[in-house]
Amino acid sequence: MAYAAVDLKSIETRLFVNNEFRPSSSNKTFEVVYPYTKEVVAQVQEADIKDVDDAVAAANAAFPAWRDLGTEQRGHYLRKLSQLILESNDDLAKLETLCIGRPITQFFDAGLAAEYFRYFADAGWSAQGTASLNTPDHLNLTVKQPFGVVALIIPWNFPLIMFALKMAPALAAGNTVVLKSSEKAPLTSLYMAKLIQKAGFPPGVVNILSGHGDPAGSALASHMGVRGISFTGSSATGRKIQVASAKSNMKHVHMELGGKTPAIVFPDADVASAAAQTQFSIQFNSGQICVANSRIYVHESIAEQFIKSFREHFAAVKMGDPMDPTTTHGPQVDMIQYERIKEYLAIGEKDGKLTAGGDAKDGLFVRPTVFEDVPEDSRLMQEEVFGPVVAINTFSTEEEAIAKANNSEFGLYASVFTKDIDRAVRVSKALDAGTVGVNCTSPTGAKDCAFGGFKSSGTGREGLLHSLDSFLEIKTILIKAVARL
Ligand code: NAD
């Protein structure tokens, strides 16, 4: 077995509450299955409502001391954790591959996660307010303060990165945390719990639960002891969390949700580069990326050339064992996701024209797939597939391309390929998306720039310069002088 190097018995499977590993109060477990072989690699303890209550209570008890510790002291813990993540790169890579089946050579996640903790170790200093003498006889201030206990709920497609993206700023801002990982990919979060213990964090500051959306996720979303929630996942779950928040204590909600990224390729674009980049965008991680460009609009005059080049890239992928360093295309994460993609393949065949790929009929593999001439109102064009499936349609005018690209309830990312700077600016401005790539597409990003969704793709922004504010609220302090100032 290619992953024999992982000692399955050493994998941590318990919940992490108040700095201690413990079984679930219900003693229920769930399976983690390696998507390549479909073998069970771990039986993980499943958090119940009592475990959620205990974790929130531990985080609430730890909050005042963590908040009052100050940025410098909190930074020491974050810096230590960053170092431990780097030292654990290989273990984390194997665990992530076992859970999600992404080719192990594409694992860059520990470096990015470590960078987040290192950055936020110092960035806490930037939590600043304002001072004002504008009101007679007053010195008025605004200060930024942590919420208290925040819940972090993360998806399975980049588990370690999502963990770090949320955990580092939440802690730097002075909040204490209950994180719930995805039931499909809990192992790296539990490994991180071991590192948190090793880094010496005070008990209760970080609590890590494994479990399903119901009961653990929904219990966090409606918990009266949780004051903020940062969620990354599907738009459908995001809606449920907003409702649960509104029906409980109006906790602050930050949502990073699904996408249906359009890429527009104009006749003056570098066609080879556009084809190479857009194919990588939808093929990487077997298409299981929120920003994957699943819709491509190519000008009718260059469609043939573009599609030919695109299909050649798709045909060159090497499907196989994700632990094999030569593999470039892994299986879908699980049977649920695989079946879901097959449903969209059937829709594509009914509504459009299948011109490359399809079901590999081999385990959970789906070959990188191209559909052409799919009507804009087809479910394939409107819904998130979350697989290596792209629809390529043509356009004749700029207005038509923009209208088609914006004909979606999603608005996470969009891209435009052209050498005409005026058109690049005009189209970027017109596209309904939180990020627009010009002559580049997803997963290209910029760590210091804001990331988040327009429309039903989310609320709020993440990024090195933006995430801290998602975990802070502003208080105004009005100081009236006893005598005239
Ligand atoms: P999902 O919505 O099924 O699950 C996400 C998390 O929410 C999991 O931990 C799950 O257990 C939990 N959950 C489920 N039901 C819940 C409930 N009722 N209350 C509270 N928590 C609940 O999403 P997924 O399948 O894990 O991830 C894929 C989705 O995530 C895609 O839609 C993708 O686009 C999106 N995503 C978005 C971004 C982004 O930054 N915008 C990044 C990665 C993934």
Q: Are strands 262-265 and 458-459 parallel, antiparallel or unpaired?
A: unpaired
According to CATH, the topology of domain 262-450 is: Aldehyde Dehydrogenase; Chain A, domain 2 (3.40.309)
Q: What is the pLDDT of residues 10-41, one digit of tens each?
A: 899 999 999 999 999 999 999 999 999 999 99
Please state at what angle helix 71-87 crosses helix 159-172, rounded to 10 degrees.
160
- Does the C-beta of 30 come closer than 6 Å to ligand 1? no
**Whole-number pLDDT of residue 3:** 45
- Does the C-beta of 212 come closer than 6 Å to ligand 1? yes
The first and second tokens of residue 455, run together, are: 């429309």
Q: Whose CA is nearest to atom 26 of ligand 1?
A: 155
Q: Are 332 and 341 in contact (CB under 8 A)?
A: yes
Low-confidence ranges of the chain (pLDDT < 50): 1-4
Beta-bridge partners for 393? 297
- Does the C-beta of 182 come closer than 6 Å to ligand 1? yes
* Index of the ligand 1 atom closest to the CA of residue 291: 34
How many residues belong to the chain? 485
**Whole-number pLDDT of residue 370:** 97
| Residue 336 half-sphere exposure toward CB, CA atoms < 13 A | 4
User: Whole-angstrom Cα distance, residue 386 to residue 235?
Assistant: 13
- Does the C-beta of 443 come closer than 6 Å to ligand 1? no
**Whole-number pLDDT of residue 5:** 65
* Index of the ligand 1 atom closest to the CA of residue 211: 11
Domain locations along the chain = 8-257+460-474, 262-450
Q: Are 418 and 402 in contact (CB under 8 A)?
A: no
According to CATH, the topology of domain 8-257+460-474 is: Aldehyde Dehydrogenase; Chain A, domain 1 (3.40.605)
Q: Are strands 39-45 and 29-34 parallel, antiparallel or unpaired?
A: antiparallel
User: Whole-angstrom Cα distance, residue 90 to residue 104?
Assistant: 10
* Index of the ligand 1 atom closest to the CA of residue 337: 25
CA of 257 relative to ligand 1 center, distance in Å: 7
- Does the C-beta of 232 come closer than 6 Å to ligand 1? yes
Residue 328 burial (10 A CB sphere; 0-12, 13-18, 19+): middle
- Does the C-beta of 221 come closer than 6 Å to ligand 1? yes
Q: Are 295 and 263 in contact (CB under 8 A)?
A: yes
Q: Which of 12, 96, 183, 256 is catalytic?
A: 256
CA of 213 relative to ligand 1 center, distance in Å: 9
DSSP 8-state assignment for residue 286: G
Q: Whose CA is nearest to atom 9 of ligand 1?
A: 182
DSSP 8-state assignment for residue 25: T
End-to-end CA distance of the chain: 77
User: Whole-angstrom Cα distance, residue 384 to residue 406?
Assistant: 15
Q: Using most ligand atoms within 8 A of CB, pick from 46, 290, 332, 334 the residue to mutate for ligand 1.
A: 290
Query: Is 256 assigned a catalytic role?
Result: yes
Q: Which of 290, 384, 398, 462 is catalytic?
A: 290
Q: Are 380 and 391 in contact (CB under 8 A)?
A: yes
pTM more than 0.95: yes
User: Whole-angstrom Cα distance, residue 288 to residue 388?
Assistant: 7
- Does the C-beta of 226 come closer than 6 Å to ligand 1? no
| Residue 402 half-sphere exposure toward CB, CA atoms < 13 A | 14
**Whole-number pLDDT of residue 467:** 98
Q: Are 170 and 117 in contact (CB under 8 A)?
A: no
- Does the C-beta of 314 come closer than 6 Å to ligand 1? no
| Residue 225 half-sphere exposure toward CB, CA atoms < 13 A | 17
